[in-house]
Structure 1
């Protein structure tokens, strides 16, 4: 092609999609996929006929079981990698969740791990042989990280990100990368290269974003654990919408260096990397393994904080010898959650009280101010960033996650109105106004800390509340294009609190979760959120909660999450 002839961005996409398809083993391509109008496909992988009984057993196992069987030699790394690779390809055919697929490379790595265990009798590390999926922005040497940008197609990483080096040093096997929205700054997942990722519980609903590919892949058990990123909820929203455990660590706890990103240089409220899994034990294994590799020696922004068993045993929370006190955030005084979300909060409160813990109400403080302050910071130079990246190819900047005309011909349209736009192209503030926003954020953080500390007068345990329990969003997974509210997650990013998503084991039930009479609305957004709810549209969606601890409290948040998780499971069994 002449240098004077510029290739159209759609042609670049076609070539990339051909390369992606060629990476899928032909014998794993299915001809018995469910029709498009079959919404719930969560059980299809086991019915597909592609997986053996042992592969089903392997892929249904939790991380703890996988690690035990891999370290003992009961299951080989090749067996486990093959099983999850096959299930990942099934998942991709159902919900379109993958970007980079490098299974041959993964199997070679797995064979090396098997040989090491056989010849030395020792594992390579605590994650020996465990397949781990990665959000597309995490760089692996020799692979692309397009991050939904056409202009980044053909840019191959020349070195691993720090986290990839750490995971491989811990024994992990990396095999697929997962889909994201263009710019990453959407709570849904769609881009011009790979298209839209669907929710496997109801394909008319969103998988969330921006780690939506991770959410849907792990929900279908095409991965036992994956890495997402979170700047305003991008780990927690997909975890919530897909019924998974997901941890948003505090700034610097997991190394970020070497990964690509939007808003590079914005460091007031930065994105963080963290784990998503089908099990809470998986999150603990991830955080312990990462901390054991001294990430502060690999990333100058990583904090020097080894894993603390004392904190995990709740040294700052009564050491497990006294009941915990949780504060329940029922709503943020801006948007009232839908009936299923409130039902999950009620169930959680009842379960914790039954388990002997205390639950008091949390009075929200400055939630809207904190969230709007964060938006000011995020959007200060966002438009210039997005336009600079998309300019080389002329690809359109996406301004809405609404279904495209082509998609509407292929899926059931469940919402009669057009989704709202969520344009990334917002003109930002000046540098001086940004500094003032940073100052305001410090003041808001101080006020919130003081507010939390003051709860010591309400708990009766001699300390403030141990953690906050909150909705993850005002709704369960909504229809495509309608997830435009991240206020229930973004506030904790601005405050830099550690936050954990916990599945409740509940799902939207049109018989139970009936629409309530209209309340006195807090805002126009509250009104539109209320009007969006129809239990028939939201059916099958998982219902989750969010547990929030203080800054850098990952160990304690995981431990308190285990308390809440056990209480919920005991409650469900009654």
Structure 2
């Protein structure tokens, strides 16, 4: 497929404007050489904050620590870091402490052995945070939309219910971008969230509050949703693990906005966490009965896995070049895999990735097999009332009168220009990419691919690079499971990362690889010690 003359012109103009605006931003707000103690969160000193969810549940079951003590440690941590990062937008601390007390009574009175208790409550007493767009009973559910700021959830989303049933204790809900369709978590209900490694950097979106509070050691496990990278980008920018499951495995019911039309096939709900050993247990619980399709208990021998790698998308005009430090980190991972496992990582070039943005945009605005299109974004902005007029909102925004954020208005404008019928050429490219990835990965393949072309950008910078999300977004179209895995820190002390992609229902392969990478590269790093 070739780019049209209009697309080429637009892409060149966008790059020129990006350079101009970023130069102005750099002049007005000069880069610091390295984050210091004044612009990042403090170190997590309580040892309870440095244990995985699996380890915390084990200690609580064995009465080595009380659940009340664990929950209070996390409450204290949130109270310490949240004034800086603005990740938790509504807490339920009093209820969480009451539930923790009930957990301690249950453990004290339980006559069954530890194994039986673990089978019943694998996450017994483990602190949990939840993206505000996902329903948690008694908590707000605005998705950053001003007209919904007083909406309160009267029941739990399906995944929340499953995790609570497994024993997890929710601490509160976390910030997101307006209507979950932008990769900086900022809205006119709760304001902007800040990166714990450097407060002048973004946390990503739309599950940015989740990535941020988990990375800040204010939560150990969290729930996010992902239709274009909304789990994986926050996990990348904040240096934690995030998993987008195989499409259709984890229930999406109980979030606003929920997918409709063809977007049902692209939206995933999944976990974020600081420690890789929590990924499989979380996914098993969140998938419910569908977990059987994933064979998560099956042992993975990484020496028998076939690894493939691409360090960039092939040079799309719409997307920034991949940062050199990310490329170097990916090559370091390849060297470690080959040295430690005795495997050969095959470098591949898949030309369709160059057109990932065009594919994602076309498929998101297409119609499904029944001829139904997704609900319009301008309709969602109107919260099921009259659709918003984006040009009018843009004028109001310029005058400081709009209730909507600039990215949301921009997306509304873009929606008006987007065709609802993908070209035959794009459909062919989409089908070719699906076939190639299915052939490449088979039943034993893992694909290494950048999580994003840039290391955690400064606030507002995504406005000038709006298509960079596509490094994650393309895998929503393909439906493949992907684990974002931290790869240490950059020279500026900001998180590096990589996407690990496997074939449908082979989530266990990318998760097993993530556990290896955590051992090889150190996993999550305490922002206060970065």
Sort the TM-score into its range (normalised by shorter chain): 0.7 to 0.9
Matched residues in 2 for 1:100 and 1:57: separation?
A: 25
Q: What does 1:394-433 align with in structure 2 at a 5 Å threshold?
A: 423-426=410-413, 428=415
* Alignment-derived partner of residue 11 in structure 2: none
Question: Is 2:169 the counterpart of 1:179?
Answer: no
**Structure 1 residue 237: Cα displacement:** 0.4
Matched residues in 1 for 2:246 and 2:101: separation?
A: 35
Match of 1:79 among 54, 69, 79: 69
Indicate if the aligned counterparts of 2:443 and 2:503 stay in contact, CA closer than 8 A. Answer: no
Tell me the TM-score normalised to structure 2 length.
Answer: 0.79
Matched residues in 2 for 1:345 and 1:170: separation?
A: 36
**Structure 1 residue 551: Cα displacement:** 1.8
Match of 1:65 among 55, 61, 75: 55
Question: Is 2:161 the counterpart of 1:165?
Answer: yes
Question: Is 2:42 the counterpart of 1:43?
Answer: yes
Indicate if the aligned counterparts of 1:81 and 1:110 stay in contact, CA closer than 8 A. Answer: yes
**Structure 1 residue 290: Cα displacement:** 2.8
Matched residues in 2 for 1:139 and 1:273: separation?
A: 12
Question: Is 2:381 the counterpart of 1:387?
Answer: yes
**Structure 1 residue 94: Cα displacement:** 1.4
Tell me the TM-score normalised to structure 1 length.
Answer: 0.73
Q: What does 1:280-291 align with in structure 2 at a 5 Å threshold?
A: 280-291=276-287
Q: Are the structure 2 counterparts of residues 181 and 236 from structure 1 closer, same or farther at C-alpha, using a change threshold of 3 Å?
A: same
Q: Identify which of structures 1 and 2 has the higher relative contact order when contacts are C-alpha pairs closer than 8 Å and 6+ apart.
A: 2
Q: What stretches of structure 2 of length at least 5 have no aligned partner?
A: 1-34, 367-374, 401-405, 526-530
* Alignment-derived partner of residue 451 in structure 2: 472
**Structure 1 residue 288: Cα displacement:** 2.1
Indicate if the aligned counterparts of 1:219 and 1:278 stay in contact, CA closer than 8 A. Answer: yes
Matched residues in 1 for 2:429 and 2:388: separation?
A: 40
* Alignment-derived partner of residue 518 in structure 2: 565
**Structure 1 residue 393: Cα displacement:** 13
Matched residues in 2 for 1:360 and 1:394: separation?
A: 48
Q: Are the structure 2 counterparts of residues 131 and 478 from structure 1 closer, same or farther at C-alpha, using a change threshold of 3 Å?
A: same
Question: Is 2:499 the counterpart of 1:542?
Answer: no
Q: CA RMSD in A?
A: 3.4
When structure 1 is superposed on structure 2, of 256-265 and 350-359 the one drifting more is 256-265
Indicate if the aligned counterparts of 1:151 and 1:392 stay in contact, CA closer than 8 A. Answer: no
Match of 1:374 among 339, 342, 360: 360
Indicate if the aligned counterparts of 1:313 and 1:556 stay in contact, CA closer than 8 A. Answer: no
**Structure 1 residue 440: Cα displacement:** 7.1
* Alignment-derived partner of residue 31 in structure 2: none
**Structure 1 residue 567: Cα displacement:** 3.8
Q: What does 1:314-463 align with in structure 2 at a 5 Å threshold?
A: 314=300, 319-320=301-302, 322-333=303-314, 334=316, 335-355=320-340, 356-379=342-365, 381-389=375-383, 423-426=410-413, 428=415, 434=420, 436=422, 443-452=428-437, 455=440
Larger helix proportion of the pair: 2
Q: What does 1:476-515 align with in structure 2 at a 5 Å threshold?
A: 476-483=455-462, 484=466, 485-505=468-488, 507-509=489-491
Matched residues in 2 for 1:92 and 1:467: separation?
A: 37
Matched residues in 2 for 1:205 and 1:196: separation?
A: 11
Matched residues in 1 for 2:393 and 2:217: separation?
A: 30
* Alignment-derived partner of residue 222 in structure 2: 226
1:139-158 Cα offsets, whole Å, 9 max, x none, are 12232211101111222222
Matched residues in 2 for 1:189 and 1:324: separation?
A: 36
* Alignment-derived partner of residue 213 in structure 2: 217
Question: Is 2:153 the counterpart of 1:154?
Answer: no
Three-state SS of the structure 2 residue aligned to 1:154 is coil
1:208-256 Cα offsets, whole Å, 9 max, x none, are 1111111111111000011111110110001001110110112222111
Matched residues in 2 for 1:373 and 1:95: separation?
A: 35
Q: What does 1:236-247 align with in structure 2 at a 5 Å threshold?
A: 236-247=232-243
Indicate if the aligned counterparts of 1:498 and 1:548 stay in contact, CA closer than 8 A. Answer: yes
**Structure 1 residue 177: Cα displacement:** 0.5
* Alignment-derived partner of residue 134 in structure 2: 138
**Structure 1 residue 357: Cα displacement:** 1.8
Q: What does 1:278-317 align with in structure 2 at a 5 Å threshold?
A: 278-291=274-287, 293-294=288-289, 303=290, 305-309=292-296, 312-314=298-300
Matched residues in 1 for 2:223 and 2:196: separation?
A: 19
Match of 1:109 among 70, 91, 99: 99
Indicate if the aligned counterparts of 2:197 and 2:494 stay in contact, CA closer than 8 A. Answer: yes
Aligned pair count reads: 460
Q: Are the structure 2 counterparts of residues 441 and 289 from structure 1 closer, same or farther at C-alpha, using a change threshold of 3 Å?
A: farther
Q: What does 1:524-543 align with in structure 2 at a 5 Å threshold?
A: 539-543=492-496
**Structure 1 residue 385: Cα displacement:** 2.3
* Alignment-derived partner of residue 372 in structure 2: none
* Alignment-derived partner of residue 90 in structure 1: 80
* Alignment-derived partner of residue 118 in structure 1: 108
Three-state SS of the structure 2 residue aligned to 1:128 is coil
**Structure 1 residue 561: Cα displacement:** 2.2
Three-state SS of the structure 2 residue aligned to 1:423 is helix
Indicate if the aligned counterparts of 2:181 and 2:408 stay in contact, CA closer than 8 A. Answer: no
Indicate if the aligned counterparts of 2:144 and 2:176 stay in contact, CA closer than 8 A. Answer: yes
Indicate if the aligned counterparts of 1:45 and 1:91 stay in contact, CA closer than 8 A. Answer: no
Matched residues in 1 for 2:178 and 2:269: separation?
A: 18
Matched residues in 1 for 2:389 and 2:189: separation?
A: 10
Matched residues in 2 for 1:481 and 1:550: separation?
A: 35
Matched residues in 1 for 2:389 and 2:197: separation?
A: 32
